Structure 1
Amino acid sequence: MPSPQVPSPSPQQPADRRTTTADRAAKVRFRRALALMAMTLLLPGSAQVAYGNKRVGRIALRVWVGLLLVSLVSLVLSTVHHEFAFWLVSDLTALQAVRLVLMALAIAWAALLVDAWRLGQPLSLSMSHRRAAVGVNGILCFSVAATLLFGAHLVGVQRTFIQTMFGSGDVTGAHDGRYNVLLLGGDSGIDRWGLRPDSITVASIDARTGQSTLISLPRNMQNFPFRAGSVMDKQFPKGFDCEHCMLNGVNTWAGDHLELFEDKKNAGIDATISAVEGITGLKVNYWAMVNLKGFRDLVDAVGGVKINVRSRIPIGGLGSDVYDYIEPGTQTLTGFQTQWYARARDGSDDYSRMARQKCIMGAMLDQLDPTVVLRNFQKIAKASSAMVSTSIPAGEVDRFIALAIKAKGQKIGTLSLVPPLVDTYQPDIALIQAKVAEAVGAPVPQTAQAAPAASDSPAASSASSASSEPTKAAKPKKPKPAADEPVTGGSLGSLKDGYVANQTEDLGAAC
């Protein structure tokens, strides 16, 4: 009886098993290649330590761990000691070091990722896996390098901003515990920049707490003295008493007599500082010239500024036709609208305009938070560079950033040397200096203590009466205008009673 036939194995079966084994091996190699790139992304150098040049890998790991430790320590220091963070973002040497580290890290990290791809033996992969590995590695290299190089670019923008905007002059200490910074504002143009400032304000800042008081001087003030011993004092020993000579004309006069000044580049500003010091009795530490057209760009860069517009503000005028209005109500103004809100005079007066300018200063300080700054950093840096020139040394930037942060949470006091407190044609300088000293909490100059009684001008007599009641002068009530006397612009009040924003201990409430 014949034995049963046993079917012979199909020759196709071993081939299937061989194909399945090869596929599995290919997938393992592909996963290994991806793992090496992932290791490099999370822990640069780890792939080299495991499969490549161990020496290179160890160096990369040490550098990476060192950078992480430095970053962690910097973060902790910045959290508990804010001055360190302010120094880090304003010191030119520190910024350059950070920029170079970021650039070097971008190149080295990308090189390590390429090496991790090589260690994955791409030629041993199937064509589809090879293409996928190349794509993943390209995306990782581009993402890491682009992120770090963009960070280096932002650091470079910050460094250029600090370098071009801030001065390199001498650092000056606080006077009576306060830093006094003269803020000059004017429109730019071929014949205007730096010639006749439209806004003259001293920001007096407490050196410890950051509490700030804004002291504004009217551009049309006349017959005022200069700081004793200054160039202008020698030219006008009896005060600026020439015909039609006003405070905003000091800059122009100095520009026409440059031969009298050692620093010819800043002669106009130095002359204006000597006038401000002679009027207020304060010693000015630094100055900042603000270009109002650049200010418009800054407002746009931060997304506008929220203002409570109390009456219609004309757009136009100042020698041309009014063609539009900013309507009353709380609204977010564009840079263009903010510029006109600050400078419009049609239908109002200079002193209303000064009150509106103070409201803008207070609103910007209150609304410009770190999130907005970071989100619009490049635009802000570009606008600020075009907006401000200043004598504040680069080495003092961190100090003033810290003071600005402290000031943000406090009320801003204001004092404007305008009617009815001051007669701008024949100002009582002794009274002014007493009021300024009272506003900033400084000792009242001896020459100012008894002098108000000697003045016979109506405005000075009224102000002298007010000065005998310091509590009322320091905290003026918010006048409610009569029905036939509407508020004008950004603050409660009127020319007759005074605009509250021009003299208050709480600028935010007055606006």
Structure 2
Amino acid sequence: MQSALPPDHRRQLGRIRFRRAVALMLMTLVLPGSAQLVAGRKETGRIAMRIWFGLIVSFGLLLLIGLVNNTFVIEFFTNTTILTLLRFGLMGLAIGWAYLFIDAWRIGEPLALAQKQRLAMVGINGVLCFAVAGALLFASHIVTVQKDWITTMFGTGKAQETTDGRYNVLLLGGDSGADRWGLRPDSITVVSIDAKTGKSVLFGLPRNMLNFPFAKGSIMDMQFPDGFNCGPECELNSLATWAADHKPLFKGVKNPGVEATSEAVEGITGLKIHYFAMVNLKGFRKMVDAVGGVTLNVRDRIPIGGVGGPVTGYIEPGKRKLNGFDTLWFARSRESADDYSRMARQKCVMNAMLHQLSPTKVVTKFGDIAKASTQLIKTNIPRSEISTFTELALKARSQPVRTVSFVPPMINTGKPDIAKIKKAVKQAIHPKKAKKGAGKSGTAKAGSPAKNQGTTGGAIGSLRSGYAANQADDLGAAC
């Protein structure tokens, strides 16, 4: 009968059918299941729309709860069981939506269309199918990466209670690899975090410190009741290798080197160490590249290479956005400098990463960040505490970081004044109490020599001496 119609009518009917077919595809894109309802396939349409509206309501509730309670959302997206269900849910949604597109294309009666219109419909259907299903499958992949990252990175141990309202995390940095976590750490830092506000204090301990005590009653205290005073080889960073050579003493301890170092740090600072994180500094290069670089204020000309090898270049002074390679050398270079200036630069990098790694950047580059993280950090922070530390990190971004390093001239690393160190720790954690007790002379003015070398204040000058970023109320300003 169609062939009996006048050519104009046939063309008009063809245009109407084509518009209808396109409309069905767009309806499926905007409101999945609506095309099936219009075409009379009510059961299929109702099921699809119920699922769609259910997802919208669920997302809206999650968003509303997230605006009121950030912790809930963080816990939701760090729960491995929920992530597994979400992964398969996204895969199922991708398959179901693709089916609805194909079904809408069939309902549009493509065989009744002109050849060019049929080809156009095939193209539209293909683009919509691959775009929507591809996006959902990619989201499923990101969820899988998130789950694998949590499983690989974090432990399953018991969460620890705070001490005096703070979490104290031991950060150990060095050239470690997957099977080399026992090597001597190049950097030893304690980050003490207020469990309510997220305000943080960094305590830097020189790796070459000698003659220090251990926490009372600890394994190392029983071996060295008078402190680690066995000569110039008994440095703070040698505890990892000492513990590795005496593993039978550490029964039931997964990482004797970290345990021995933690016991020493507790004895030196008086702080209870709750968790540790071992940072592979070479893996740090990949992390910086994953987030697109880090902006640092380079105060001195930093050599690339040196100390046993040739200097191959320099990082020039100025405010610069450095890639992973240059950031690593900024943090590690010892040519024409000392360990104390290097400690200062490493703290500047930590501070920059804390304040420059935005939530948006984490989301958009999560796959690369997660991949780099598994090569960067090994920690015993349990999965149940991820939401706690994520929330604290978000709070810490908006606040200055206080820093204290126990280095000369404040401390003689060969014969440290432990009482002075513990007092400095208390003053840094409770600065208001310290200032109240000290009166007007409690803190040195910026730009003038600090009388109390090592708690707060200090001139913001060259990092070659390391003083500014080793002793500062605001690490960001000092860097």
Task: Please classify the TM superposition score into its range, dividing by the shorter chain length.
Answer: over 0.9
Q: Post-superposition shift, 1:247?
A: 0.3
Range with bigger deviation, 131-140 or 407-416: 131-140
The match for 1:22 among 10, 20, 43 is 10
Give 2:446's aligned residue. 477
1:18-66 CA-partner distances (Å, limit 9, x unpaired): 2222222222222222111111111111111221421121111111000
Q: Does 1:385 align with 2:370?
A: no
Q: Please, which runs of 5 or more residues in structure 1 have no aligned partner?
A: 1-14, 450-465, 482-489
Pairing of 1:178-217 with structure 2 (within 5 A): 178-188=166-176, 193-217=181-205
Q: Post-superposition shift, 1:212?
A: 0.4
Are the equivalent residues in 2 in contact too, given 1:355–1:491 (CA < 8 A)?
Answer: no
In 1, distance between residues paired with 2:309 and 2:179?
Answer: 18
Q: Post-superposition shift, 1:192?
A: 5.5
Distance change (3 Å), C-alpha of 1:473 and 1:350:
farther
SS in 2 for 1:168: coil
The match for 2:262 among 252, 268, 273 is 273
Are the equivalent residues in 1 in contact too, given 2:287–2:324 (CA < 8 A)?
Answer: yes
SS in 2 for 1:219: coil
Distance change (3 Å), C-alpha of 1:190 and 1:56:
closer
Q: Post-superposition shift, 1:429?
A: 1.2
In 2, distance between residues paired with 1:383 and 1:190?
Answer: 13
The match for 2:245 among 232, 240, 256 is 256
Pairing of 1:40-439 with structure 2 (within 5 A): 40-188=28-176, 193-243=181-231, 244-439=233-428
Q: Post-superposition shift, 1:405?
A: 0.8
Give 1:455's aligned residue. none
Q: Post-superposition shift, 1:470?
A: 7.4
The total of aligned residue pairs comes to 469
Q: Post-superposition shift, 1:175?
A: 0.7
Are the equivalent residues in 1 in contact too, given 2:299–2:462 (CA < 8 A)?
Answer: no
Q: Post-superposition shift, 1:148?
A: 0.6
Superposition CA RMSD, Å: 2.6
Q: Please, which runs of 5 or more residues in structure 2 have no aligned partner?
A: 451-458
Q: Which amino acid aligns with 2:396?
A: A
1:182-219 CA-partner distances (Å, limit 9, x unpaired): 10000135995431001100110000000000011110
Distance change (3 Å), C-alpha of 1:41 and 1:50:
same
1:284-336 CA-partner distances (Å, limit 9, x unpaired): 11100000011011111112111111111111123222222111111111211
Q: Does 1:501 align with 2:469?
A: yes
1:228-272 CA-partner distances (Å, limit 9, x unpaired): 111111111111111220000001100111111124531100111
SS in 2 for 1:324: strand
1:271-290 CA-partner distances (Å, limit 9, x unpaired): 11111111111011110000
Are the equivalent residues in 2 in contact too, given 1:176–1:442 (CA < 8 A)?
Answer: no
Distance change (3 Å), C-alpha of 1:87 and 1:159:
same
Distance change (3 Å), C-alpha of 1:79 and 1:372:
same
Are the equivalent residues in 1 in contact too, given 2:166–2:194 (CA < 8 A)?
Answer: yes
Are the equivalent residues in 1 in contact too, given 2:221–2:227 (CA < 8 A)?
Answer: yes
SS in 2 for 1:411: coil
Q: Which amino acid aligns with 1:24?
A: Q
Distance change (3 Å), C-alpha of 1:501 and 1:408:
same
Distance change (3 Å), C-alpha of 1:299 and 1:471:
farther
In 1, distance between residues paired with 2:61 and 2:178?
Answer: 50
In 1, distance between residues paired with 2:431 and 2:469?
Answer: 21
Are the equivalent residues in 2 in contact too, given 1:250–1:268 (CA < 8 A)?
Answer: yes
SS in 1 for 2:202: strand
Are the equivalent residues in 2 in contact too, given 1:213–1:414 (CA < 8 A)?
Answer: yes
Are the equivalent residues in 1 in contact too, given 2:447–2:460 (CA < 8 A)?
Answer: no
Give 1:453's aligned residue. none
Give 2:454's aligned residue. none
Are the equivalent residues in 2 in contact too, given 1:214–1:412 (CA < 8 A)?
Answer: yes
Between the aligned residues of both structures, percent identity stands at 54
In 1, distance between residues paired with 2:345 and 2:302?
Answer: 10
Give 2:461's aligned residue. 492
Q: Which amino acid aligns with 2:380?
A: S
Q: Which amino acid aligns with 1:477?
A: A
In 2, distance between residues paired with 1:307 and 1:30?
Answer: 58
In 2, distance between residues paired with 1:36 and 1:81?
Answer: 40
Q: Which amino acid aligns with 1:71?
A: F
Range with bigger deviation, 79-88 or 432-441: 79-88
Q: Does 1:36 align with 2:24?
A: yes
Q: Which amino acid aligns with 1:329?
A: G
Give 1:463's aligned residue. none
SS in 2 for 1:176: coil
Distance change (3 Å), C-alpha of 1:191 and 1:219:
farther
Are the equivalent residues in 1 in contact too, given 2:208–2:236 (CA < 8 A)?
Answer: yes
SS in 2 for 1:49: helix
1:372-428 CA-partner distances (Å, limit 9, x unpaired): 222322111111110001011111111111111111111100011111111111111
Distance change (3 Å), C-alpha of 1:191 and 1:28:
closer
Are the equivalent residues in 1 in contact too, given 2:32–2:100 (CA < 8 A)?
Answer: yes
Give 2:455's aligned residue. none
Range with bigger deviation, 173-182 or 74-83: 74-83
In 1, distance between residues paired with 2:265 and 2:80?
Answer: 32
Distance change (3 Å), C-alpha of 1:70 and 1:189:
closer
Q: Post-superposition shift, 1:491?
A: 6.0
